[in-house]
Amino acid sequence: MEMRDLFTRPIRATRGLRRMTMEPSRALSRRDLFALIGASAGGAAMYQAMTSLGFAAESPYRGPIKLEGDPKGASVVILGAGLAGMTAAIELGRAGYKVQILEYNSRAGGRNWSLRGGDDYTELGGATQHCAFDEGLYLNPGPWRIPYHHHALLNYCRRFGVTLEPFIQLNHNAYLHGAKAFGGKPQRIREVKADFEGGIAELLAKATRQGALDEAVSREDKEILLVALRVHGGLDEDFRYKAGDESAEFRGYARDPGGGLGAEPVNGEPIGMHDILTSRLWRGLQSFLSYDFQTTMFQPVGGMGRIGEAFARQLPNAIRYGAKVTGIRQDEHGVAVAFEDINRGGAVEEVKADWCVCALPLTILSQLPLNVSAPMKAAIDAVPYSSSVKIGLQFRRRFWEEDEHIFGGISYTDLPIRQISYPSTGYNSGGKGVLLGAYVWNGPNAYELTAMSPDERIKLALEYGAQIHPQYRAEFETGVSVAWHRVPFILGCAGDWTEATRAEHYDNLCQIDRRIVLAGEHASYIPAWQEGAILSALDAIARLHKRVLAA
């Protein structure tokens, strides 16, 4: 479900570096160049350079799974009707298994979920919010964007008829904002990006021309590098980044070119390197450079929840809703799952099957009686879940478009709301819109916002958001918030692995334990993303199927 906060991403940065160090040393001078770019421009620029050369890995999905061979009527009980559980059910069903899913909620999808006008949502603690959004407007509390390289998810969307549209991750006209940067005035991403890269290019050109890189690049490469820096960075013929036609090509104009008399454009003065560095606004650029967020990204038309709905349509009569699993027991003959029927006052029932694919979140599974090996139990207990809060705000006017010419995309801020995302649909149509008014991932603010009442969360989202968009005060209509640690069906957001916990527990978590195998984003190397859930399920059932045929 991807929920990233650019200001708290040390693990992913490490992963990027590891990718680099694992790359065979086929181009030493190029790696030196990366290191230099990294030293002068920061990890984001280095990562951009690396990914542009294809160093980052893609989803290993290679097309629809083929489970060949007759399972001879074997049965599988699947726990959880999120994307992992439903993927397993759909594919095992097609391969000839008898499948049944137990789902706690009264809907399928799990974290794949859209809150729409008319929906009621009751969080742990008992607060109920009545979502009062207008027709067609929604908040995706969980996953909200799909990278182009999440091949499995995209393939299922194609097969199940889920219509996609572009999700705008990078909008050059959205803002980067720091409470203490530039007097609290939001800066256009376009200008920060162009001026940061232009400033870096100028510095690197200077170092290159002074001979500082002579040991790292050949004389021939040096000439090409200088040309590249000038063209790429918007430098003038003297390798300076300053107000002029070259920089305006990237950063835009103080006054745009027009028509008729007095139409000549006016170039703007770039932000100086010192001001960009000390403002820390450059940190926001990483969210547009890293592999997970590169264009093209997608969203389903009508809300992310359309995907879960489409999966569920493939499983008529296979999902038992309102089933709260209370215990899982296996022996040499099969698996018995005890559950309470929430719709019948918690009446206890039991499902028996030959095998079990358990796609329950670890926050739930770690609290259930379950007889698995000690190493798997230790793994189940080892992974805390990240904390996250999203707040959706409906405004009576799309002021971000009408007043500020921001069509989709995300503004990043160091305020507790962290970001404001503008709807990637319905552009330029007038009327109302719903902004993602806060998206907080881990760290103190996620817990503090979770501890507040829904009204308090919205009050704060409005107060902070108005520092970036003063129109908030006049145009706000209604809002809804989801704090993931208070979501009754999961009690957390997503598996929060560290390198240490992965090394100790990940393989143990993914092993088939006699008749039980786990699936979900927590059993993947793409945690918090839907792709991880699907790939985990496909891998689990492929191994399970092999075991069934061998039995």
Partner 1 sequence: MRANLSAALLCAAVLSCGSVLAQDPSPAPPSLSQGRGFDEQGGAALYANVCAACHQADAKGAVGAAAYPALAENGNLASPDYVMSAIFQGIGAMPPVGRMMSDAQAADVINYVRTHFGNRYDDAVSAADVTAARAQFGSGR
By CB under 8 A, name the binding residues for partner 1.
8, 104, 124-125, 179-180, 184, 324-325, 360, 363-364, 366-368, 381-387, 416, 443-445, 447-453, 455-456, 459-460, 463-464, 467, 483, 485-492, 496, 500-501
Phi-psi region of 70 (alpha: psi -120 to 50; beta: other; left: phi over 0): beta
The nearer residue to partner 1, 50 or 325, going by C-beta atoms, is 325
The nearer residue to partner 1, 160 or 447, going by C-beta atoms, is 447
Rounded to whole angstroms, what are the CA distances from 471 to 146, 324, 429? 30, 45, 18
The nearer residue to partner 1, 152 or 460, going by C-beta atoms, is 460
Alpha-carbon span 352 to 257, nearest angstrom: 72
The H or E element spanning position 475 is helix 472-475
Q: SS3 of 348, please?
A: strand
Strand runs labelled E in 294-418? 297-300, 319-320, 323-330, 335-341, 347-353, 355-358, 388-395, 409-413
The nearer residue to partner 1, 310 or 391, going by C-beta atoms, is 391
CB neighbourhood size of 478 (10 A): 20
Alpha-carbon span 362 to 359, nearest angstrom: 9
Alpha-carbon span 222 to 328, nearest angstrom: 65
**Sign, Cα dihedral of 281, 282, 283, 288:** positive
Structure tokens at 96: 């000839």
Alpha-carbon span 306 to 157, nearest angstrom: 9
Q: In what order do the strands lie in the sheet with 516-518?
A: 319-320, 98-102, 75-79, 355-358, 516-518
CB of 268 to partner 1, least distance (A): 26
CB of 80 to partner 1, least distance (A): 9
The nearer residue to partner 1, 389 or 406, going by C-beta atoms, is 389
CB of 416 to partner 1, least distance (A): 5
The nearer residue to partner 1, 173 or 386, going by C-beta atoms, is 386
Q: What are phi and psi of 458, to 5 degrees?
A: -70, -40
CB of 378 to partner 1, least distance (A): 10
Closest alpha carbon to 150 in 522, 510, 532, 542: 532
CB of 162 to partner 1, least distance (A): 26
CB of 96 to partner 1, least distance (A): 30
The nearer residue to partner 1, 28 or 500, going by C-beta atoms, is 500
CB of 197 to partner 1, least distance (A): 28
CB of 486 to partner 1, least distance (A): 7
CB of 293 to partner 1, least distance (A): 22
CB of 463 to partner 1, least distance (A): 4
CB of 355 to partner 1, least distance (A): 22
Amino acid at 458: I
The nearer residue to partner 1, 416 or 437, going by C-beta atoms, is 416
- Cα–chain-centroid distance for residue 407? 20
Structure tokens at 467: 């520092």
**Alpha helices, H only, 111-188:** 151-159
The nearer residue to partner 1, 293 or 489, going by C-beta atoms, is 489
Q: SS3 of 176, please?
A: strand
Strand runs labelled E in 270-315? 297-300
The H or E element spanning position 516 is strand 516-518
Instruction: Answer whether 198's CB lies under 8 Å from 248's CB.
Output: no
CB of 384 to partner 1, least distance (A): 4
Which residues are CB-neighbours of 176 under 8 A, at least 6 positions away? 186, 187, 188, 189, 192, 281, 284, 285, 411, 412, 413
The nearer residue to partner 1, 14 or 429, going by C-beta atoms, is 14
The nearer residue to partner 1, 110 or 199, going by C-beta atoms, is 110
CB neighbourhood size of 72 (10 A): 11
Q: SS3 of 382, please?
A: coil
The nearer residue to partner 1, 386 or 425, going by C-beta atoms, is 386
The nearer residue to partner 1, 107 or 543, going by C-beta atoms, is 107
- Cα–chain-centroid distance for residue 485? 18
Amino acid at 197: E
